[in-house]
């Protein structure tokens, strides 16, 4: 076998070491799934083997789950439904054979076990896990539009009950070792390095070779659908799923169906039910779009798919951050976590110290969770220097400017910082809206000037938008990407333009919400419709979150830059009055479209005077139309960005939209949404909205041309950047 090694010791215990060659992490590839029945059969039939221990040969983890690209290709080959079922059943059948082999099998979990990796251990009769904060156990498939398809829906439910299992699977929750033991997912937590020893001790001690659910007297924890308490899990759970997903995610509902039906059946039949629902889910456009964008494309971007190949690899050791506000401090924190020495500069020492205090606060959270030792905490905090002295910049590989969105202030700090930089170092602006080419005019080395746009909160948001100015050089692109990969974020690379890609397109969602408000649609309905599209928050909520006064500042700067060409956004006068006349700045001062001095927050009563409700029609048809309207407005702007050359890779467009501003993940991203809607139908609907609401919906010529030729974005443009 290529992926498993078997060593039988003097006690007759087979140590099965899972080690996929040429990979840093084990995954369940097609070849791995072919080999599992081979070693299971040997364990079962070899009289010299009394029991087995399954572990990983990788220092990085036990198993990260299924290789989704390989898996999807194997199950979606265009064959019959029976062919798809047979491919899907392969893992389930193998794991069922494992747990019924008649000999005790223990899992020595010496690293993270996620998705199919955890399902593999659940088919073992006993689970031992190392006591390390780096180890995570969980079934996160829901995050890519799927649910566990290797027996997880049935085994986890039978271990910990319907309610706990459904919460873990619908949230894609990961457990640390002791939490997993407390939940009932594993049996033992032992010191790191002793997992195999402990697992073998269980086997030698007469470990039972039967799963609990295969015992005649087994009862489902908490009860099943016909138990007085158990039925509540499904009645309440169904309502909660609808509230959380708004019906956008077939995986969530199919997961509940698989659990509901499966727990009423013997395990063999239950696993067949799971496989059928899994294949049904895999065939949905939602799952296919999410797998492509949130797994395959994201992986490619994370590994540097966009990096110029002819530039030597760099490794930034020292980075300076200008501006110690929440954004700058967040950047300093992720730098520290990546082992990068960081200079945090602000205009006065108090402001700089406040920024470092935020870094300390974030580190303390990790310390309290056991994710850092005290020594590591001290070292990470010491790697951040808070100062006002620009001389500390000397020796930096990169400077990131994160000061106010003001052209003059940015020009001043650019000149002061560049005076300290050595040749080869690069300067990155964290601006969210101001064109990089214009900001680079303050630089004496524009080829080393680039946009490096983070999102707030930096410690949680995974995207970084790299923006190219007209004179940005290839080396600056490569070094920026090396830096982003080192801090373990996902990069996209876009060309210059006001608002770039993410801020520009996100702004259309908020602006369309303002247009709906001007039209007289109830603010409560507007935000409910926004959430129903799959966006993380309603447009008015989001406007409050990003700050109304910031919108006013950006509008003024844009008007100043564009002159007569400037066109106010819908609702801009409402926002101006709220900020300048009424002091309502949004969530940050507790007063915006909502009042935040009570929980839950409530719509500000005075909004009715600024934007009276005129539209009473809230039929299901109207709601569906307005949901589509919000998605279309964003997607049309993405297409415009494409036509204007701001973005030119479907992977970046989709991954960037989902990670940056939360574009409805169930769609797979705006480009996938357009492709799956169909270019011709999309153009027709966009034209209808343009006739009703204005030219902002008018599709660009690019879309019209592609629609006429029957093209798709992924069909026409995939691989174009890589080939170039």
**CB contact at 8 A, 129 and 186:** yes
CATH 1.10.1040.50 residue ranges of the chain are: 503-717
CATH 3.40.50.720 residue ranges of the chain are: 318-499
pLDDT of residue 237 exceeding 70? yes
pTM value > 0.85: yes
Q: What is the mean pLDDT of residues 37-61?
A: 96
Phi-psi region of 604 (alpha: psi -120 to 50; beta: other; left: phi over 0): beta
Spacing of C-alpha 455 from chain mean position: 13
Q: What is the DSSP annotation of 297-322?
A: IHHHHHTTTTS-TTS------EEEEE
Q: What is the mean pLDDT of residues 685-694?
A: 97
Q: What is the pLDDT of residues 417-465, one digit of tens each?
A: 999 999 999 999 999 888 999 999 999 999 999 999 999 899 999 999 9
For the ranges 51-65, 253-267, 548-562, 699-713, the lowest mean pLDDT is seen at: 548-562
pLDDT, position 79 = 67
Q: What is the pLDDT of residues 191-228, one digit of tens each?
A: 999 999 999 999 999 999 999 999 999 999 999 898 88
pLDDT, position 78 = 58
Dist CA 338 CA 325 (whole Å): 20
pLDDT of residue 76 exceeding 80? no
Looking at the domain covering 318-499, what would its CATH class be?
alpha beta
Q: What is the mean pLDDT of residues 596-625?
A: 92
Dist CA 346 CA 130 (whole Å): 43
Choice between 550 and 480, residue whose per-residue pLDDT is larger: 480
Give me the CATH code for the 4-283 domain, please: 3.90.226.10
Dist CA 155 CA 348 (whole Å): 58
Dist CA 648 CA 650 (whole Å): 7
Cα→Cα distances 366→116, 182, 380, 489, 600, Å: 27, 20, 12, 18, 29
**CB contact at 8 A, 367 and 336:** no
**CB contact at 8 A, 544 and 593:** yes
pLDDT of residue 413 exceeding 50? yes
Report the catalytic residues. 465
The C-alpha angle with vertex 430 and arms to 381 and 475, in degrees rounded to 5, equals 95
CATH 3.90.226.10 residue ranges of the chain are: 4-283
pLDDT, position 80 = 81
Cis, bond preceding 600 (omega within 30 deg of 0): yes
List the structure tokens of 489: 């974020």
pLDDT, position 48 = 96
pLDDT of residue 75 exceeding 80? no
pLDDT, position 73 = 63
For the ranges 231-235, 359-363, 644-648, 688-692, the lowest mean pLDDT is seen at: 231-235
Percent of the chain with pLDDT over 90: 85
pLDDT of residue 309 exceeding 50? yes
Q: What is the DSSP annotation of 615-631?
A: -----HHHHHHHHHHHH
What's the whole-number average pLDDT of the chain?
A: 94
Cα→Cα distances 662→138, 291, 503, 635, 647, Å: 23, 16, 12, 13, 18
pLDDT of residue 59 exceeding 60? yes
pLDDT, position 509 = 97
Which CATH number is 503-717's, of 2.60.120.10, 2.60.120.680, 1.10.1040.50, 1.10.3720.10? Answer: 1.10.1040.50
Q: What is the mean pLDDT of residues 101-129?
A: 97
Q: What is the DSSP annotation of 504-573?
A: HHHHHHHHHHHHHHHHT--HHHHHHHHHHTT-SS-HHHHHHHH-HHHHHHHHHHHHHHHGGG--PPTTHH
Sign of the four-CA dihedral 566, 571, 575, 576: positive
pLDDT of residue 386 exceeding 70? yes
For the ranges 69-83, 177-191, 268-282, 617-631, the lowest mean pLDDT is seen at: 69-83
Q: What does the CA dihedral 604, 605, 611, 616 come to, rounded to 10 degrees?
A: 110
Give the model's confidence band at 722: pLDDT under 50 very low, under 70 low, under 90 confident, else very high.
very low
**CB contact at 8 A, 514 and 543:** yes
**From start to end of 586-719, where are the E strands?**
594-595, 602-603
């Amino acid at each position: 076998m290529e992926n498993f090694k078997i060593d039988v010791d003097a006690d007759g215990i087979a140590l099965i070491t899972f080690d996929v060659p040429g990979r840093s992490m084990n995954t369940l590839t097609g070849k791995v799934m072919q080999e599992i029945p081979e070693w299971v059969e040997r364990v079962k039939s070899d009289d010299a083997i009394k029991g087995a221990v399954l572990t990983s040969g990788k220092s990085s983890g036990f198993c990260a789950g299924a290789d989704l690209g390989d898996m999807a290709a194997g199950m979606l080959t265009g064959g019959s439904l029976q062919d798809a079922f047979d491919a899907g059943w392969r893992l389930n059948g193998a794991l069922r054979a494992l747990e019924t082999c008649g000999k005790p099998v223990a899992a020595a979990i010496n690293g993270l076990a996620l998705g199919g990796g955890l399902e593999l251990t659940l088919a073992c009769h006993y689970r031992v896990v190392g006591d390390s904060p780096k180890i995570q156990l969980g079934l996160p498939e829901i995050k890519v539009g799927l649910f566990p398809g290797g027996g997880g829906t049935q085994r986890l439910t039978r271990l910990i009950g319907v309610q706990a299992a459904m919460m873990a699977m619908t949230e894609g929750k990961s457990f640390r070792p002791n939490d997993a033991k407390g939940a009932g997912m594993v049996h033992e937590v032992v010191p790191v390095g002793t997992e195999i020893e402990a697992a073998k001790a269980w086997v030698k001690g007469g470990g039972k070779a039967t799963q609990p659910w295969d015992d005649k007297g087994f009862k489902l924890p908490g009860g099943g659908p016909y138990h007085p308490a158990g039925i509540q899990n499904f009645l309440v759970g169904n309502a909660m799923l609808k509230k959380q997903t708004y019906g956008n995610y077939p995986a969530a509902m199919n997961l509940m169906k698989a659990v509901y039906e499966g727990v009423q059946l013997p395990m063999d039949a239950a696993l067949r039910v799971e496989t059928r629902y899994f294949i049904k889910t895999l065939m949905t456009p939602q799952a296919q779009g999410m797998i492509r964008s949130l797994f395959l494309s994201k992986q490619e971007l994370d590994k540097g798919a966009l990096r110029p190949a002819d530039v030597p690899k760099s490794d930034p050791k020292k980075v300076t951050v200008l501006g110690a506000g929440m954004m700058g401090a967040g950047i300093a924190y992720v730098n520290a976590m990546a082992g990068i020495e960081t200079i945090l500069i602000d205009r006065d020492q108090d402001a700089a110290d406040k920024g470092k205090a935020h870094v300390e606060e974030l580190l303390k959270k990790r310390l309290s969770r056991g994710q850092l030792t005290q020594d590591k905490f001290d070292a990470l905090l010491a790697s951040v220097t808070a100062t006002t002295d620009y001389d500390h910049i000397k020796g930096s590989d990169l400077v990131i400017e994160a000061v106010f969105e003001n052209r003059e202030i940015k020009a001043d700090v650019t000149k002061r910082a560049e005076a300290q930089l050595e040749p080869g170092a690069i300067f990155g602006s964290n601006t969210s809206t101001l064109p990089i080419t214009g900001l680079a005019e303050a630089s004496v080395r524009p080829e080393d000037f680039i946009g490096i746009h983070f999102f707030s909160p930096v410690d949680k948001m995974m995207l970084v938008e790299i923006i190219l100015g007209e004179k940005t050089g290839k080396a600056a692109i490569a070094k920026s990407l090396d830096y982003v990969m080192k801090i373990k974020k996902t990069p996209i690379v876009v060309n210059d333009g006001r608002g770039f890609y993410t801020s520009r397109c996100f702004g259309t969602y908020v602006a369309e919400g303002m247009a709906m408000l001007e039209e007289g649609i109830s603010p409560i309905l507007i935000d409910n419709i926004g959430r129903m599209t799959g966006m993380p928050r309603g447009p008015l909520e989001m406007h409050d979150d990003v700050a109304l006064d910031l919108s006013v500042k950006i509008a003024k700067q844009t008007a100043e830059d564009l002159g007569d060409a400037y066109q106010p956004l819908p609702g801009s006068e409402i926002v101006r009055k709220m900020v300048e006349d009424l002091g309502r700045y949004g969530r940050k001062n507790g007063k915006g479209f909502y009042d935040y001095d009570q929980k839950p927050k409530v719509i500000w009563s005075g909004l009715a005077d600024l934007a009276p409700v005129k539209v009473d029609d809230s039929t299901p048809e109207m709601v569906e139309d307005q949901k589509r309207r919000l998605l279309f407005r964003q997607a049309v702007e993405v297409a415009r960005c494409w036509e204007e050359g701001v973005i030119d890779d479907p992977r970046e467009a989709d991954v960037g939209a989902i990670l940056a501003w939360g574009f409805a993940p169930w769609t797979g991203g705006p480009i996938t949404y357009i492709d799956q809607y169909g270019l011709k139908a999309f153009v027709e609907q966009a034209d209808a909205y343009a006739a009703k609401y204005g030219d902002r919906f008018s599709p660009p010529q690019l879309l019209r041309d592609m629609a006429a030729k029957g093209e798709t974005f992924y069909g026409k443009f995939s691989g174009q950047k890589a080939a170039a």
